[in-house]
Amino acid sequence: MSDRLREKVAIITGAASGQGRVGTEVFAAEGADLVLTDIDAAGLEAAADVARQAGAVVATYAGDLTQEAANERLVERALESFGRLDVLYHNAGRARMSPIHEATLNDWNFSVANELTLVFLTCKHALNAMLKQGSGSIINVASLSGLYGVRGHGVHAATKAGVIGLTRQMAVEYGPSGIRCNSIAPSGIYFEPSEPGFRLGRSRTSLEDFPLGRLARPRDPVNVAVFLASDESSFITGQTFIVDGGKSAH
């Protein structure tokens, strides 16, 4: 690794598994100091151990980010531990997948709370810290289904479109204060059975849909996040980075 994030303090949400877990390893290897959070306390500590082995200084906070108090405490943890907050990499989220006509109001409320409300709340409190220091980079994980219709994604498509819209609004509103806000929209990600994430069944996705001939791997969107967290992207804000192997170009 090249220490692209040396002297950066980054919050990574959803750090116990999936893209968040991979992100902790890569951000640590790139030199960032980390504040890791997840609702899964045991998985969070396992991720923190891996990041520390990679040389990172790590603080953790286990909490439910759909609750405002948890987000306030998370940002306080970052400031207490490191005195600043340079990056928010927001991976956390849970959804219920179904066609719209099969979704219940409970499915809607659950998905909105766990994919959109928690992004709003974490960004709100991160922004308060970043405004005081006059700098920062917010990276929200959206989805290809937030940009294009995907059968069966129902409420998930709506919430991820909301994440993209919220991110663009923040870019416009807080750019003059030195804060950059971007989102990443990956296609479905394939995890190996041994990886601390989920496995997307190949039977549901044809590789012919991807010009590059494979599904996204966890490192693909994480590598984009490293770029957006680094000073290399200092003139980029308000953008949605599609990471889908060319699928949306069809």
What's the pLDDT tens digit per position in 206-241?
A: 777 888 878 878 899 999 999 999 999 999 999 999
Question: Would you say residue 199 has pLDDT above 60?
Answer: no
Average pLDDT over residues 69-73: 98
Per-residue pLDDT tens over the stretch 137-172: 999 999 988 888 888 888 999 999 999 999 999 999
pLDDT, averaged across the chain: 91
Scanning the chain, the segments in alpha helix (DSSP H) are 18-29, 41-53, 68-82, 105-112, 118-133, 154-174, 219-229
pTM: 0.92
Percent of the chain whose predicted confidence (pLDDT) is above 70: 93
Question: Would you say residue 173 has pLDDT above 70?
Answer: yes
Question: Would you say residue 54 has pLDDT above 80?
Answer: yes
Find the angle CA(248)-CA(208)-CA(226) to the nearest 5 degrees. Answer: 50
Q: For position 180, what pLDDT does the model report?
A: 98
Q: 211: which residues sit within 8 A by CB, 6+ positions away?
A: 245, 246, 247, 249, 250
Give the C-alpha separation, 87 to 8, whole Å: 7
Provide the pLDDT confidence category of residue 116 given band limits of 50, 70 and 90. very high
Provide the pLDDT confidence category of residue 1 given band limits of 50, 70 and 90. low
Question: Would you say residue 197 has pLDDT above 60?
Answer: no
Q: What are the strands of the beta sheet with 33-38, ordered from one edge?
A: 58-62, 33-38, 9-13, 87-90, 136-141, 179-186, 240-243
Q: State the DSSP H helix or E strand holding residue 60, giving kind and residue range, or none if neither.
A: strand 58-62
Q: Scanning the structure block, which residue is given the tokens 């927001």?
A: 90
Q: Scanning the structure block, which residue is given the tokens 């609702």?
A: 39
Give the C-alpha separation, 61 to 75, whole Å: 10
Return the domain boundaries, the chain: 9-249
Percent of the chain whose predicted confidence (pLDDT) is above 90: 75
The class (CATH top level) of 9-249 is alpha beta
